[in-house]
């Protein structure tokens, strides 16, 4: 069965059609084909969330993963994030959790 998806690699937003044999049509550029195949074989996402802090005025700090992690690892990653409380000072880009997935860190996206 063919799968339809919208490419997010550029603002054009091509409608891609992917066959079970991973034949991609509808892409305007080569990035669409790469995106569709990766999305069908190994989908990854950047995890954006917040972590608890011990700071009274700012009880949550926004964070994100430094790269995409497999979609099936989002739940386990959130379990790790939800069980920590951080202390300041923290600066944008500081590593909050090292190697939440091999080679991927959770980093601060704001300062505390």
Q: What is the pLDDT of residues 34-85, one digit of tens each?
A: 999 999 999 999 999 999 999 988 999 999 999 999 999 999 999 999 999 9
Q: Are residues 63 and 38 in the same domain?
A: no
Q: Are residues 49 and 92 in the same domain?
A: yes
Helix (DSSP H) and strand (DSSP E) numbers for the chain: 2, 10
Quick one: average pLDDT of 84-106? Answer: 95
The predicted pLDDT at position 56 comes to 87
The structural domain count of the chain equals 2
Range of the domain at 31: 3-42
Give the predicted TM-score (pTM) of the model: 0.81
Q: Are residues 69 and 81 in the same domain?
A: yes
Count other C-beta atoms under 10 Å from residue 64's C-beta: 15
Q: Are residues 15 and 70 in the same domain?
A: no
Q: Are residues 50 and 99 in the same domain?
A: yes
The predicted pLDDT at position 88 comes to 81
Quick check: 1 pLDDT over 90? Answer: no
Alpha helices, DSSP H only, in 1-112? 30-41, 74-82
Q: Are residues 25 and 69 in the same domain?
A: no
The predicted pLDDT at position 46 comes to 96
The predicted pLDDT at position 78 comes to 97
Q: Are residues 37 and 61 in the same domain?
A: no
Q: Say if CB 51 and CB 110 are below 8 A apart.
A: no
Query: Token pair of 107, please?
Result: 């980093």
11-35, pLDDT tens digit by residue? 999 999 999 999 999 999 999 999 9
Q: Are residues 34 and 53 in the same domain?
A: no
Q: Are residues 72 and 96 in the same domain?
A: yes
Q: Provide the 3-class DSSP secondary structure of residue 8.
A: coil
């Amino acid at each position: 069965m063919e799968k339809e998806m919208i490419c997010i690699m550029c603002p054009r937003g091509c409608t891609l059609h992917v066959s079970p044999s991973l034949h991609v049509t509808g892409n305007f550029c080569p990035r669409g084909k790469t995106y569709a195949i990766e999305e069908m074989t190994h989908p990854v996402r950047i995890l954006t969330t917040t972590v608890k802090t011990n700071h009274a005025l700012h009880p949550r700090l926004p964070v994100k993963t430094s790269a995409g992690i497999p979609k099936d690892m989002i739940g386990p990653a959130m379990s790790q994030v939800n069980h920590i409380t951080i202390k300041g000072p923290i600066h944008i880009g500081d590593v909050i959790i090292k190697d939440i997935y091999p080679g991927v860190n959770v980093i601060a996206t704001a300062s505390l």
